[in-house]
Chains A and B, each alone.
Chain A
Amino acid sequence: MLRGKGWGISFFDEMIGQDSEVRSPYRDYHDWFEREDAARIQRKAQQAEAFFRTTGITFNVYGEDEADERLIPFDVVPRIISASEWRRLSRGIEQRVRALNAFLHDIYHRQEILRAGRVPTELIARNEAFLPMMMGMDPPGGVYTHISGIDIVRTAANEFYVLEDNARTPSGVSYMLENRETMLQMFPELFAKISVREVGDYPLNLLKSLSACAPPQCNGTPTVAVLTPGIHNSAYFEHSFIADQMGAELVEGHDLRVVGGRVAMRTTQGYTPIDVLYRRVDDDFLDPLNFRPDSMLGVPGIWDVYRAGGITIANAPGTGIADDKALYSYMPDIIEFYTGEKALLPNVPTWRCSEPEHLKEVLDRLPELVVKEVHGSGGYGMLVGPAASKKEIAAFRAKLEANPRGYIAQPTLSLSTVPIFTRAGLAPRHVDLRPFVLMSPQGITITPGGLTRVAMTKGSLVVNSSQGGGTKDTWVLED
């Protein structure tokens, strides 16, 4: 299959080295794979698809017929991370999430970092996710980012970069859990042979972590609920999955109202107060009285309850400022400012197009760079220079010149690859990794591994599911 020759490519493959050697974390898996009948694996892969369909692990694509519930492609070859690699990653992730929280607290209080001139004030002032109403507010337990997802890419044996911070409402955790469940069902013998760290305790850790952030007015065991925009939302499966796994109620705006100074849900026996609301709706839609008056998704008056310490909203309103890609470029400074340490995980070098010299360089080198909208997500509205046509580049150049502040640029990274299973055998495809991080006053919990997203098309660097990307089970090996 793969034996005998390297793939003769310049990017880093996590399974096979340049010398055709199988790298050590993959050795046991590769041995198993070599002995396995390809037709059997093929059959299993088809079963996996049927399994995802009956389970309903689908997502709706906006603008398409509702009947078109799509599956995110799942690849049966796991992405494997060694214990020592994971130790290094998780230290870096923990440091980053602590710094993010300290930063958010500072921005919504004394703004020391702005006064010190380490981050430009206008990055906050112009940030659409900045919520002036959060100034001086103390979210219960001092936690802003109860759940965050730190996107990481790899370019060489010892080179990991943080690509993006997702502190608003990171999604994908249900895929992490269902991917593992699927692998356990399909290849139980693998897990007997290879010691892989557990991910299934995520829902209980989430419940514990959210409960530990209960508001001052909560007495007794906190009642946790998950707020979803409803069954037509593209991530509804995930919302119901998380609620189900935590044993929490899954509520919509019309199930909630403010009763006696608390946010309460309409139960069969009347209104019952909620202590912690894990919301999967954006800030703008939370409270039609205080934010967007046309929103039907939120709860009128929830903001006032929040201010009075009657409910915990997770993540805290206003955390979205940290997802801004222009702000991202300051993360090394932010980490140093609050922790007094150098960042353990480096950022990808980033040009801020708002700065004239940066813009000039970006425009000169456009065909070789990746350009992203500062508020963009999901792989929409970005330019991958080396993959773009002359026409696309020219069009993007015009956009950049018209609104340089709206963009950042990065070198096109040679993302690492992990093989996927194809009819013709193993074939390398580019991947990234989104570990999920929980934070409470009791500490930070990182689930070993996370969600590996993989570009299913040969050569493609875009891993987003909205752009045809798939996922893999992610294994962190026991020591």
Chain B
Amino acid sequence: MLGKTAGSLFWMARYLERSENNARLIDAGFRIALTRSSTAQSEWRSVLVTAGQDHAFRQAHGEDYTSQRVVDFLLRDPANPSSILSVVKQARDNARTARTYLTREVWEAVNTSWMTLGGLLKRQVREDDLPDVLAGIRRHSAQVAGAFSGTMLRNDGYNFARIGTFLERADNTARILDVKYYLLLPSVAHIGSSIDNVQWETILRSVSAHRAYHWLYGTEISALKIAEFLILYKQMPRSLAFCCEQMTDNLDLLRRAYDDETEAVRMGGAICRDRLSRPIQSIFDGGLHEFITDFLRANAALAQQIERDYRFVE
């Protein structure tokens, strides 16, 4: 397949995943802003930092971290190239470029979500409409995912899209941890003592795993367990370990299909092996912040290597 097409599938999947993640972040931020008006501004700021958009926000709006301002910026501000609206448009542009590799179902799902969102986000969203709009974004995302898994040929194009999805997702989960890691540090909430209820709930909600956590760990809430859940727990579809496993599986399928063990294949394997095959305590011992920073760097390097090895651009 064309390198450009592989790149478009990869980026289409990344942008789609990003729009869904950002919708989830807004949802979690909105909840905390409703329940705790005193810390709302700093919560919104941490949402912007997690989404990597704080700098752009401050350039456009200064320190005005009100719900309405932040939500509008994240959802649809034309000044924000990373707003959900622009991200979905970029997903659709990539889908158009890769149109010949997509089934009609996938293309129509992507195109429909772009059209519907364009309508929903034409003007500013009122606070009481926000939950519906966010649910709509996630529903469209689920439709694309469903069409993708139900109709796409399991070939190299599929692998590139999957790698894009999990690379983006791992990046998102790691960023959430990065912004909130101080809450999980023993100095703030030592092991055994309960950490701030609302805060940990926000973390879990940001990855839609708040019920799964309880199902798994019961009522016991600890920093170590939350970190383990988000980093190492392989059954949790947004954990770093799960994402990495999916990435390496798909890279391995490419290796076999192309009979070529690229540098990217080796790098993907190394992330799983060196960083995620150890107990959570040892991660804490080495420093959670250092671990996350290193992971984000390795993840980004892998993305660049994939782009090079599979000739997305000349």
Interface residues of A (CB under 8 A from B): 53-56, 67, 231, 236, 240, 243-244, 248-252, 254-255, 257, 265-270
Residues of B contacting A53 with CB < 8 Å?
115
On whether A267 and B99 interact (CB within 8 A), knowing A56-B111, A255-B3, the answer reads no
Q: Give chain B nearest CB distance to A247 CB in angstroms.
A: 8
Whether, in the assembled complex, B314 has its beta carbon less than 8 Å from a beta carbon of chain A, the answer is yes
Give Cα A149 to B228, complex, Å. 65
Q: Give chain A nearest CB distance to B255 CB in angstroms.
A: 12
B residues 199-235 with Cβ under 8 Å of A?
none
Q: Give chain A nearest CB distance to B166 CB in angstroms.
A: 18
Q: Give chain A nearest CB distance to B253 CB in angstroms.
A: 13
Whether, in the assembled complex, B1 has its beta carbon less than 8 Å from a beta carbon of chain A, the answer is yes
**B1 and A267 form a contact (CB under 8 A):** yes
Name A231's contact: one of B97, B112, B310 (CB within 8 Å): B97
**A240 and B108 form a contact (CB under 8 A):** no
Chain A residue, CB-CB nearest to B4: A255
**B107 and A56 form a contact (CB under 8 A):** yes
Give Cα A2 to B113, complex, Å. 42
**B2 and A249 form a contact (CB under 8 A):** yes
**B311 and A243 form a contact (CB under 8 A):** no
Residues of A contacting B100 with CB < 8 Å?
240, 243-244, 248-250
**A54 and B2 form a contact (CB under 8 A):** no
B residues 68-126 with Cβ under 8 Å of A?
93, 96-97, 99-100, 104, 107-108, 111-112, 115, 118
Q: Give chain B nearest CB distance to A206 CB in angstroms.
A: 15
Give Cα A404 to B1, complex, Å. 51
Q: Give chain A nearest CB distance to B61 CB in angstroms.
A: 25
On whether A269 and B258 interact (CB within 8 A), knowing A255-B2, A255-B3, the answer reads yes
**A268 and B3 form a contact (CB under 8 A):** yes
Residues of B contacting A267 with CB < 8 Å?
1-3, 311
Whether, in the assembled complex, B247 has its beta carbon less than 8 Å from a beta carbon of chain A, the answer is no
**B111 and A268 form a contact (CB under 8 A):** no
**A266 and B99 form a contact (CB under 8 A):** no
Whether, in the assembled complex, B156 has its beta carbon less than 8 Å from a beta carbon of chain A, the answer is yes
11 residue pairs bridging A and B, Cβ less than 8 Å apart: A54-B108, A231-B97, A240-B96, A240-B100, A244-B100, A250-B99, A250-B100, A252-B4, A255-B3, A268-B1, A268-B2
**B6 and A268 form a contact (CB under 8 A):** yes
| Given contact pairs A257-B314, A269-B260, a sample of 4 additional A-B residue pairs in the complex whose CB atoms are under 8 Å apart | A231-B93, A231-B96, A236-B96, A249-B5
Give Cα A371 to B112, complex, Å. 43
Chain A residue, CB-CB nearest to B103: A244
Q: Give chain A nearest CB distance to B48 CB in angstroms.
A: 27
Residues of B contacting A270 with CB < 8 Å?
311
Q: Give chain A nearest CB distance to B104 CB in angstroms.
A: 8
B residues 1-52 with Cβ under 8 Å of A?
1-6
Q: Give chain B nearest CB distance to A278 CB in angstroms.
A: 13
Give Cα A268 to B156, complex, Å. 9
Residues of B contacting A251 with CB < 8 Å?
2
Interface residues of B (CB under 8 A from A): 1-6, 93, 96-97, 99-100, 104, 107-108, 111-112, 115, 118, 156, 160, 258, 260, 310-311, 314
On whether A268 and B258 interact (CB within 8 A), knowing A54-B112, A54-B115, A254-B314, the answer reads yes
Give Cα A251 to B6, complex, Å. 12
**B2 and A265 form a contact (CB under 8 A):** yes
Residues of A contacting B4 with CB < 8 Å?
252, 254-255, 266
Residues of A contacting B104 with CB < 8 Å?
55
Q: Give chain B nearest CB distance to A230 CB in angstroms.
A: 8
Give Cα A270 to B262, complex, Å. 13
Q: Give chain A nearest CB distance to B151 CB in angstroms.
A: 14
Residues of A contacting B260 with CB < 8 Å?
269
Give Cα A53 to B118, complex, Å. 13
Residues of A contacting B107 with CB < 8 Å?
55-56
Residues of B contacting A244 with CB < 8 Å?
99-100
**A268 and B311 form a contact (CB under 8 A):** yes
Q: Give chain B nearest CB distance to A60 CB in angstroms.
A: 11
**B115 and A266 form a contact (CB under 8 A):** no
Residues of B contacting A250 with CB < 8 Å?
5, 99-100
**B314 and A266 form a contact (CB under 8 A):** yes
Residues of B contacting A255 with CB < 8 Å?
2-4
Give 9 nearest A-B pairs by CB, closest first: A240-B99, A268-B310, A244-B100, A266-B3, A54-B108, A243-B100, A268-B6, A231-B96, A250-B100
Chain B residue, CB-CB nearest to A244: B100
Chain A residue, CB-CB nearest to B100: A244
Residues of B contacting A268 with CB < 8 Å?
1-3, 6, 156, 160, 258, 310-311
Give Cα A231 to B12, complex, Å. 15
Residues of A contacting B1 with CB < 8 Å?
249, 267-268
Give Cα A324 to B3, complex, Å. 39
Chain A residue, CB-CB nearest to B312: A268
Q: Give chain B nearest CB distance to A287 CB in angstroms.
A: 18
Residues of A contacting B3 with CB < 8 Å?
255, 266-268
Give Cα A209 to B74, complex, Å. 51
Give Cα A236 to B112, complex, Å. 18
Residues of A contacting B96 with CB < 8 Å?
56, 231, 236, 240
Interface centre among A236, A249, A254 (most CB of B within 10 A): A249
Chain B residue, CB-CB nearest to A53: B115
Chain A residue, CB-CB nearest to B306: A268
Give Cα A231 to B98, complex, Å. 10
Chain B residue, CB-CB nearest to A241: B99
Interface centre among B1, B2, B3, B108 (most CB of A within 10 A): B2
Q: Give chain B nearest CB distance to A108 CB in angstroms.
A: 33
Q: Give chain A nearest CB distance to B268 CB in angstroms.
A: 16
Q: Give chain A nearest CB distance to B164 CB in angstroms.
A: 14
**A266 and B111 form a contact (CB under 8 A):** no
Q: Give chain B nearest CB distance to A238 CB in angstroms.
A: 11
Q: Give chain A nearest CB distance to B163 CB in angstroms.
A: 12
Give Cα A252 to B93, complex, Å. 15
Residues of A contacting B160 with CB < 8 Å?
268
Residues of A contacting B118 with CB < 8 Å?
67
**A54 and B258 form a contact (CB under 8 A):** no
Q: Give chain B nearest CB distance to A83 CB in angstroms.
A: 32
Q: Give chain A nearest CB distance to B260 CB in angstroms.
A: 7
**B108 and A266 form a contact (CB under 8 A):** no
Residues of B contacting A231 with CB < 8 Å?
93, 96-97
Name B311's contact: one of A56, A248, A252, A266 (CB within 8 Å): A266
Give Cα A250 to B72, complex, Å. 37
Chain B residue, CB-CB nearest to A243: B100
Residues of A contacting B311 with CB < 8 Å?
266-268, 270
Chain B residue, CB-CB nearest to A265: B2
Q: Give chain B nearest CB distance to A19 CB in angstroms.
A: 46
On whether A54 and B111 interact (CB within 8 A), knowing A249-B2, A266-B4, A269-B258, the answer reads yes
Interface centre among A54, A250, A269 (most CB of B within 10 A): A269
Give Cα A342 to B250, complex, Å. 64
Residues of B contacting A254 with CB < 8 Å?
4, 314
Q: Give chain B nearest CB distance to A67 CB in angstroms.
A: 8
Give Cα A252 to B5, complex, Å. 11
Give Cα A268 to B108, complex, Å. 26
Give Cα A250 to B101, complex, Å. 10
Q: Give chain B nearest CB distance to A153 CB in angstroms.
A: 34
